[in-house]
Amino acid sequence: MSKTTAAITAVGGYVPKFVMTNNMLEEMVDTNDEWIVSRTGIKERRVLKPEEGEGTSYLAIKAAEDLIQKKNIDPKEIDLVIIATATPDSMVASTAAFVASEIGAVNAFAYDLLAACSSFLFGMSTAASYIESGRYKKVLLIGADKMSSIIDYTDRTTCIIFGDGAGAALFEPNEEGLGLQDEYLRSDGTGRQFLGMDAGGSLMPATEETVKNRKHFIYQEGKTVFKFAVSNMADVAERIMQRNNLEDTDVSWLVPHQANKRIIDATANRMGLDNSKVLMNIERYGNTTSATLPLLLADFESKFKKGDNLVFAAFGGGFTWGSIYLKWAY
């Protein structure tokens, strides 16, 4: 009997309507379009404005609805909804539970998964495990982040990078050996000092002081994070290739976290990949944290062919990082 694998059978995506260009940021902080484009590859990003909708759940619902409508599935058949996010609607109450109810997945259980920019990548492993074990048949994994809710728009080192967005992928059993093939996932807690948000958690609950000192915004030591990201993302992607005997010609697509074009280029270089195989939309969306990988899938879905070899790679706060090898199933 062949082993049941976990395949992605549908994808969806959503970005908010408001486009924040580099020129707009020039009005807010001491920066310029040339610096942002040459250092990051970002030209514009999306921001969710209250007049359109509120909370990460709004973005997640839109992405899920896009998937449900395209695949024409009955949401009542979904067994589990996982929301990969670093910006849940609120602490404590599960954002995923709300999203599941709103999209009509009334028979599903739901929870959030948080691993910074690696949330969706780690969520792929979680979703696939439920399918491979035979426990569930339809797992909806959504990567969604409203990064603008934790961005300090007076801090030029972070506000130029991040944007809002969401993407969704449905995992189902496959009997042809397609879907998730291998994963190499890592973390290193000594990295938490370099990228994170100081206040609002149990370590530093909100006080007047924390608000005054802008501790509820994300901060990062860009250079340090950059160095870790460049070497680690390339290392794990190379390792996944080696242990699955994949040559550069065997890889159809690199699906890399969209944090910085220079990090993506370095990873592709190490893998020996031609530019044409490297998926990128960073110029339009910036770094949408948990949404970068599924938004790439949604944007480039029409290019994929059944059996294509996709290598995912991500790096994020914590530190968390890793790579996944997946065979496209449709």
**Catalytic residue from among 22, 117, 159, 260:** 117
159, 232, 257, 260: the catalytic one is: 257
Output the six-digit token pair for 50.
Answer: 């209250």
Nearest to 169 by CA among 122, 102, 124: 124
Kindly determine how many residues on this chain lie close enough to bind ligand UT7 according to the rule CB under 6 A: 19
Check: CB of residue 317 under 8 Å from CB of residue 87: no
Taking the complex as a whole, the smallest distance from the CB of residue 160 to ligand UT7 amounts, in Å, to 5
Q: Is 315 in the site for ligand UT7 (CB under 6 A)?
A: yes
- What is the smallest separation between the CB atom of 221 and ligand UT7, expressed in angstroms? 8
Does the annotation count 216 as an active-site position?
no
The yes or no reply on residue 3 touching ligand UT7 (CB under 6 A) is: no
Tokens of 63: 């992405």
Q: What is the DSSP letter of 163?
A: -
Q: Is 232 a catalytic residue?
A: no
- Residue 14's φ and ψ, nearest 5 degrees, are -155, 135
Tokens 């002081």 belong to which residue? 209
- Angle at CA 268, nearest 5°, toward 47 and 158? 30
End-to-end CA distance of the chain: 22
Helices (H), 112-260: 119-132, 156-159, 208-212, 222-243
Position 196 contacts ligand UT7 (CB under 6 A): no
Contacts of 194 (CB under 8 A, 6+ apart): 220, 221, 224, 225, 228, 319
Among 5, 40, 267, 323, binds ligand UT7 (CB under 6 A): 40
| Contact region with ligand UT7 (CB under 6 A), list: 6-14, 31-39, 166-174, 242-250 | 31-39
* Nearest CB to ligand UT7, comparing residues 78 and 229: 229
Chain residues 136-195 in contact with ligand UT7, contact rule CB under 6 A: 156-157, 160
Cβ contact 162:285 at 8 Å? no
C-beta nearest to ligand UT7: residue: 222
If one asks whether residue 222 binds ligand UT7 (CB under 6 A), the answer comes out as yes
**Active-site annotation holds for 117:** yes
Site for ligand UT7 in 260-289 (CB under 6 A): 260, 263, 287
Q: Is 240 in the site for ligand UT7 (CB under 6 A)?
A: no
Residue numbers annotated as active site:
117, 257, 287
Q: Where do contacts with ligand UT7 occur on this chain (CB under 6 A)?
A: 31, 35, 39-40, 117, 156-157, 160, 222-223, 225-226, 229, 259-260, 263, 287, 315-316
